[in-house]
């Protein structure tokens, strides 16, 4: 078990990877914990975990995934396939002078973390998943699954998969769109039961049509929103949305891993009010088979999607307890 230490200030670095470069923020010394964000976020989503992990005796490193922030943003949409994102994570570990790491992800970062552990068990010795459960590759082509959802309405993933379409909605008012998107999936601001579901788009409509119109969620200050908006106003959204546009490619690339379990020691944290947790309840139920190394599972009552920001203290507690249980 690492020894608690006085946390040093966070530092920013850029390291070479197959993407070209990955920007990261690191704090602390000790065993490496790699933190991978989701959509539409950045390294900043882990701002409340970095100092806590550092104080607990870990070298905590939060990256900007390729396509985000100060990391490289390839123009070719196929550059956002899962195989490439896993290799970025491996390259970050090696660029930091380490051989192994614990990888923890939220949202899309959870899927990237799980696949990093699946494809490179030699590098990633344990995996933490936040909000999005692990579900092995299998079943029909993803685009076909998403196209079948919603009846007369369109599922948001299908909406995001069409190049340029979501950008046309988001980029004229990045800050306002992000505020609505974060609020739509936060426990304290999400639409009431029975209201139109913001995961779906009316034919001819936009996602924004269903965003709540009240204030920001409690976890998000105006200054926090400025940070997120500033990054996407500078980079645009195409890089971030590239992940959605490679899902069929991933399905083909990972055919050899159909049904494969992730066997390393693992953790899952979800929000009870998060559709990622409730819609994928069967994936959680399958963990004895698909995630046999699971050591810690907690679904937080009254919590939405942005779990490490909505419920910082609980998430930090569960993370540090789980990390302390791992062999070094």
Catalytic residues: 107, 305
User: Closest Cα to residue 130, out of 154, 164, 107?
Assistant: 107
Q: What value, to the nearest 5°, has the Cα angle with vertex 52 and ends 48 and 53?
A: 110
- In 81-182, at which residue ranges do the beta strands (DSSP E only) sit? 101-106, 124-130, 154-155
Cβ-contact 83, 33 below 8 angstroms = no
Rounded CA-CA distance 44/38 in Å is 11
Q: Which residues are paired to 201 by β-bridges?
A: 154
For residues 16 and 90, give the distance between their C-alpha atoms in angstroms, rounded to a whole number. Answer: 11
Classify residue 222 by burial, with Cβ atoms within 10 Å: 0-12, 13-18, 19+. exposed
65 three-state secondary structure: coil
Assigned token pair, 169: 């909605």
Q: How far apart are CA 317 and CA 320, in angstroms?
A: 5
Both tokens of residue 212? 């709540």
């Amino acid at each position: 078990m690492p020894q608690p230490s006085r946390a040093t200030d966070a530092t920013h670095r850029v390291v070479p990877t197959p993407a070209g470069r990955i920007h990261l923020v690191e704090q602390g010394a000790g065993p490496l914990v790699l933190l991978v964000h989701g959509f539409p976020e950045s390294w900043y989503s882990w701002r409340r975990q970095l100092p806590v992990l550092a104080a607990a005796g870990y070298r905590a490193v939060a990256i900007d995934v390729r396509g985000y922030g100060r990391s490289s943003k390839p123009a070719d949409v196929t550059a956002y396939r899962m195989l490439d994102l896993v290799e970025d994570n491996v390259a970050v570990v090696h660029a930091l002078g380490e051989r192994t790491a614990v990888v923890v992800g939220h949202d899309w970062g959870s899927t990237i973390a799980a696949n990093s552990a699946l494809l490179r068990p030699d590098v990633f010795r344990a995996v933490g998943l936040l909000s999005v459960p692990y579900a092995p590759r299998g079943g029909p082509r993803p685009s076909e699954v998403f196209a079948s959802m919603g009846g007369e309405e369109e599922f948001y993933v299908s909406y995001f998969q069409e190049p340029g379409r979501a950008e046309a909605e988001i980029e004229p008012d990045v800050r306002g769109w992000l505020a609505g998107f974060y609020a739509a999936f936060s426990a304290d601001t999400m639409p009431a039961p029975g209201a139109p579901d913001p995961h779906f788009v009316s034919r001819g409509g936009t996602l924004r049509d269903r965003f709540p119109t009240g204030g920001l969620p409690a976890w998000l200050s105006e200054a926090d929103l400025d940070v997120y908006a500033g990054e996407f106003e500078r980079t645009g959204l195409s890089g971030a949305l590239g992940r959605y546009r490679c899902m069929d490619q991933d399905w083909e690339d990972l055919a050899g891993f159909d049904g494969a379990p992730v066997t390393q020691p693992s953790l899952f944290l979800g929000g009870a009010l998060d559709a990622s947790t409730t819609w994928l309840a069967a994936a959680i139920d399958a963990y004895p088979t698909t995630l046999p190394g699971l050591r810690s599972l907690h679904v937080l009552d009254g919590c939405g999607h942005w779990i490490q920001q909505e419920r910082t203290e609980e998430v930090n507690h569960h993370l540090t307890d789980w990390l302390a249980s791992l062999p070094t």
